[in-house]
Structure formats: structure tokens, C-alpha cells
Chain A
Amino acid sequence: MIKVKFLTMLREIVGEAVIETERKENIALLTQHLCQKYGEKFREAVLDEKGTIRKYVRFLINGKEAGNPETKINDGDTIVMFLPVAGGFGS
């Protein structure tokens, strides 16, 4: 199992701050799973028209930024997912 935390706008869209779910092999597969679970609004927020993860969506695995959609997920990992709308990193 893994833990997925949603921050700010994504938390509003999914209606919960944290969930536990079955481990998926990588970020791309986890995102697909979450799109199925949370529906169109979530899908539109995180995927573009071609189904690719939008550039600005951020994923942290155990506090470290996931480099790309193929980044592996291990059992017990905590993934934080968010859109950087609260100011990101203070430019």
C-alpha cells in the first residue's frame, strides 16, 4: 500500500487530504488510477488533451521530486501531489 496526499487545489477537487491505495508501478500509472477514481475534473487538472501529465503538476515521493512519469513507486511510499498555485517557491 502507498499513501497519496493532495495539496491545495487538488485537495479541493478530490475532497480529501490523504488516501491509502494499492501501490502502482510508477507515477504515470498512479495518475491513471487516480483519474479513474476521481473523474473528469481531476483528469482535466492533471492530464492534457493527449493524456500526458501536465508540466506544472508536481509529485513528491517521500519528500523528493519525482523526475518523470516513469519514476518508480515502492510499497510504503508517501506521494504528495499538487498544482503549484500557492506561490510555488517564491520565484
Chain B
Amino acid sequence: MSDLRVGYLPTLYHTSYILKSGGWLEKSSGLKVDWELYPTGPAMTKAFSEHKIDIGYIGLPPAMIAIDKGNPIICVGGGHVEGTIMLAPKHYKTLEELGDVKKVLEQFSGKKIGTPSQGSIHDVIIRNLLEEQGVKGVTVRNYEWAEFLPEALENGEIDAAVGTPSLIVAASRQIDVHLVIPPNKLWPNNPSYGIVIREELKETTHVILEFLKMHKKACTLIRENPGKAAKLVSKEIKGLNPEFVKATYTISPKYCAALSPQYITSTLAFVPILKKLGYIKKILGEKEVFETSYIEKIHPEPPHY
């Protein structure tokens, strides 16, 4: 019987791979930990509702969708912000060259932008940006797996892609691409992922605090020694070289366990969009999504985002 059941996603810049690879939680606290890999955020929220996991690494949009449906979960820690990038082959101009987001997007009028599945944070961000900038005639094409995007760019099926920092690292190993819009210009402070618990775990405060302590330590390692962090991750995912992980870390190096006011505000800015898209029914408030008291104990200093 385990003391803590942790759900995680195959997203290599989450601290899950570091904690798991180094056995950090077990060593620091003596807790018996079970790690369960889920293919998607919605699959993980289902596991939360079925009491299969106690704590998880998850994107905030799927967590908020689950909260709206009555799933008793709450976000107790941050992890990373600005985890969405836009890339394209090098014959397209970048924001730095054109100086205006609208001009960058207009290059794709009559063309296709590929992104992960509908409702993912990347999909929501690019659709919202196109609408906000009034850019017409761009087709957003969804792919169930981000791994198909480099190939789709390579064979001309799409003209640009929006996804995680890992995407540009993977794509640039196959084709000549570059960042056309950096993460902070797509949606400043957007919450790449957070730490979510099942409300019942609040009865064992020490477990939450111990987890957050190790999560914070791993965030610090990524910021201060990305090479060492990358080696731990590549020990956990065989076939993945540490250079790939390190390159991913450097695309948007905003790793921190804190729940900063900007993190919270940016997360809540998704609420009206999720409602407009029909993913949620009510307007969620801060207290329904976040419980900041635990991370304030572990991370009292200013955020590092």
C-alpha cells in the first residue's frame, strides 16, 4: 500500500521525471510513492475523480474543466509559465524582424497552423490570439499528438506549429525552423502546468508539504543546473539524450514552484475563454482553483518566474 499516488504526464520539463528518477520523495520522507503515467490531462482528472491518485502534474485548463464539473481537486503549486511557443520554417519572418504579432500571424493567411488537440492550452492560445489580432483566413489544424507536428511541417501539411518548448527542439532536429513568436508574446505568464491535489489529501498536510519541498528543489535544479537536471530526466526516459532535455529547458526558462499573483491572474484569464468555448459552465474564482497556503510555507521568497 502506497502513502502517496502521483499522476504525471509525458512532458519532460515537469519536475516529475526528476523526483521519480532520483527517488527524491522516498529518500527525503520515507514515503512509499506510486507513480502513474497518464496520456492526457483529462485522463488524469478522471483518475482523480476515481480516487486513483492523490496528487498530479497537470495543465490548468483541464484542471479547471474538472473543477467546474465538481471534481474535488485544487491547485497547490506552480511549476512553469510560458510553455507555449510558435515556430515555422526559416523562410517565415519572426516577431523580432516584423516587430508586430499581427504581421507575424498574417504571414499564415490562407495557410495552416498545427497544434495539439482541441482544448489544449496551445490550441486555446493560438485561436484566441488569431481572433484578438483580427487575422483571418488561417486554418488551425489539431493533432492528437504533438509528435506528428515536426513531420507535418517537414512534408508541408502545415506551415507553422504551436506547442511546447520540446516541440521546437524536436522539430529543429528534423527541419530548419525557428521561433516566430516567443512564449511571453503569445500569452504572458500562461500557466504551463501546476501541482493539483485531491481535496482529501488536505488531511495529511505533511505529505503535501514534503511533496512541494521536493518539487521546489527540482525547480531550483532546473534553473541553476539544467545540465544535471537533464541527466536525471534522460535516466528516466531511455532513448532521450540529455542535450535534448537541456535544450528544452532553455527555450522558456521560467521554472518555479510558487503560485505568483501573475500565475494566478493569467490562469483565471482562461476562465471566460473556456466558458465561451463551452468547456466550463460557470465563472470560477481564485478560491475554487487555488489553495496557496501550502506553497507559501515552502516558497515564502519572491517567485522565480
- Residues of A bordering B, CB below 8 Å: 7-13, 17, 41-42, 44-46, 54-56, 58, 60, 82-91
Contacts and interface: CB of A to CB of B under 8 A. Distances in A.
Given A86-B147, A91-B121, 4 more contacts: A55-B37, A84-B147, A87-B146, A88-B10
A10 B239 CA distance: 8
A13 B116 CA distance: 24
Given A44-B239, A45-B238, A89 B37 contact: no
Given A41-B239, A88-B10, A88-B39, A12 B117 contact: no
A45 B239 contact: yes
28 contacts: A7-B148, A7-B151, A8-B150, A41-B239, A44-B239, A45-B240, A54-B238, A56-B10, A60-B145, A82-B145, A85-B12, A86-B146, A86-B163, A86-B170, A87-B167, A88-B10, A88-B39, A88-B116, A88-B145, A89-B41, A89-B144, A90-B59, A90-B120, A90-B146, A91-B11, A91-B41, A91-B58, A91-B120
Contacts of B58: 91
Contact of B145 (A11, A13, A84): A84
Given A9-B244, A84-B147, A85-B244, A90 B116 contact: yes
How many B residues are at the interface, by size bracket?
A: 35 or more
A90 B123 contact: yes
B117 A89 contact: yes
A33 to B, nearest CB: 18
A89 B240 contact: no
Contacts of B115: 90
A56 B146 contact: no
A89 B244 contact: no
A63 B158 CA distance: 18
Nearest to B144: A89
